[in-house]
Amino acid sequence: MIIVRLGSRGKENYMLFNSYIFIFVFLPLTLIGYYFLNHFKKYKAANLFMIAMSLWFYGYFNKSYLLIICGSIAINFLIVKSMQNIKQKPKYQKILLGGGILANIVIIFYFKYYDFYINNINIIFKSSFELKNIILPLGISFFTFQQISYLIDSYREETKEYTLDEYALFVTFFPQLIAGPIVLHSEVIPQFKKKENRIFIAQNFSKGMYIFALGLFKKVLIADTFGKAVSYGFGTIATLSSMEAILVSLSYTFQLYFDFSGYCDMAIGIGHMFNIDLPQNFNSPYKADSITVFWERWHMSLTRFLRTYIYIPLGGNRKGKVRTYINIMIVYLVSGIWHGANWTFILWGTFHGILNCLNRLCQKSWERLGDITRWAVTFMTVNVLWILFRADNISSALIFIKRMFCLSDFSIRQELYNCFQLRELEVIGENVPGLNYIVSVIKGFDLWMFILGAFFIVLNFRNSKEIIFKPTAARSLIAAIFIFWSIISFAGVSTFLYFDF
């Protein structure tokens, strides 16, 4: 059975962190306006200004998105207020909670899974129901999960009497709005309420600019370069050699890493510019020595949400081994479904669930393996499963994996080498003594430099949350070079991979 992806977006004109309008217009205007209003102690006006700018950011491509997010905010806020007004009637509170969660799930289902569901119905029953070809609204899974967590926390009486503008700011704050992290109210709203966070702090701004520069460089110069090889490879699966399939699979593994890591860095960096410390969402996941540890490091806010609001309420590990494994499988099945309307995502989540169960079941035997062996097996497993994550359908994924492991052809075509050629690197290679000779001798030097360099970075560099920042001339120069190099390398707006989720 071949089931293709539904509801994805093309290369639209979004206002992204890696776009001219964001860097030269939106971000400066937002910083100036926000701190100007706070300087005169117009705190509510500053909140409303930030909400308005965040909505401009969100609705820049498609104004109809604004109706969805504003409607979602209004409905969830009303439900929370209603629950707070009937504290003495827990039965009705539970009904409101269930209705609120169901309403959020229905919204996600309609926009994200309706066509997928209808397409499968047509295949199974040979019917001809019409697909709506719904364009998936940006970040709907992120801000919907965020509001579900708020509903549940409110039912548990873990939230405070927040005003509508505080709640709307919590949902819409633009650095985390469309690709995470999935923040909790307790992490963001109290920071906005602190008056000391309302003044411009040069140290925080410098740190934010530095982290933003690192993230921008990761996205534009590293992830997007790997992305060229990925587009080429997954567009020519039927003709790939074994070596090309291996290189393309590694390219996607690194593209996804630097793309998501870059976004997380930029989000954290922008947060620091506004004196807001966003939670960590990415913690060097390719250093993991088991699938379990990988998920503790990859998309940490999603893992936290699934653990807190699904795994623990289902009973966690408190109801025996069999129930524990069932709960784990449910969580990873939800994770797969959350990532997209395709059987590839469902199968990807299922495999990760099975591997987590096996890791728990065979933990002692696993720990007896050497550190390098555990890491290598984990990395290769993650790498192969990413193929399923990226492929348009299961059939394509199986063909790709078969070409990887048949080991029948180790040739590399020039088209794949060309994907890694950057003009800036060519200029450096031509003018650095000795380097031009190495480049001429080693065929595909740029490709091998990117692959080996990526391995070195993901295994040795600190993530942004581990950086102990002190403003120095060297760091200022690095930030300036990274931002300048990234800006001159913009070749159109390249969307972040997690925007499709």
- State the catalytic residues: 339
Output the CA torsion sign for 388, 389, 394, 395. negative
Sorted by sequence, the CB contacts under 8 Å of residue 263 that are 6+ apart come out as: 17, 179, 215, 219, 496, 498
Q: What single string gives the DSSP state of each residue in 236-301?
A: SGGG--HHHHHHHHHHHHHHHHHHHHHHHHHHHHHHHHTT--PPP-B--GGG-SSHHHHHHHBSHH
Among positive and negative, which fits the CA dihedral 501, 211, 30, 222? negative
Q: How far apart are CA 276 and CA 208, in angstroms?
A: 10
- What is the helix, strand, coil percentage profile of the chain, to 5? 70, 0, 25
Across the strands, what pairs with 282? 298
Q: How far apart are CA 478 and CA 147, in angstroms?
A: 38
Backbone phi and psi for residue 305, each to the nearest 5 degrees, phi listed first: -60, -50
**End-to-end Cα, the chain, rounded Å:** 23
Distance from C-alpha of 282 to C-alpha of 265, rounded to nearest angstrom: 9
How far is residue 444's CA from residue 392's CA, in Å, rounded to a whole number? Answer: 28
Report DSSP letters for 410-476, one per residue.
Answer: ----HHHHHTT--HHHHHHHHHSTTHHHHHHHSTTHHHHHHHHHHHHHHHHSPPGGG------HHHH
**Nearest by Cα to 286 from 464, 465, 460, 459:** 459
- Report helix, strand or coil for 323: helix
What's the CA gap between 187 and 276, in Å, rounded? 9
CA distance 257 to 378: 15
CA 101, CA 151: separation in Å to the nearest integer? Answer: 8
Q: Report d(CA 184, CA 307) in Å as an integer.
A: 14
CA–CA gap between residue 201 and residue 249 (Å, rounded): 43
- Cis peptide preceding 285, ω within 30 of 0: no
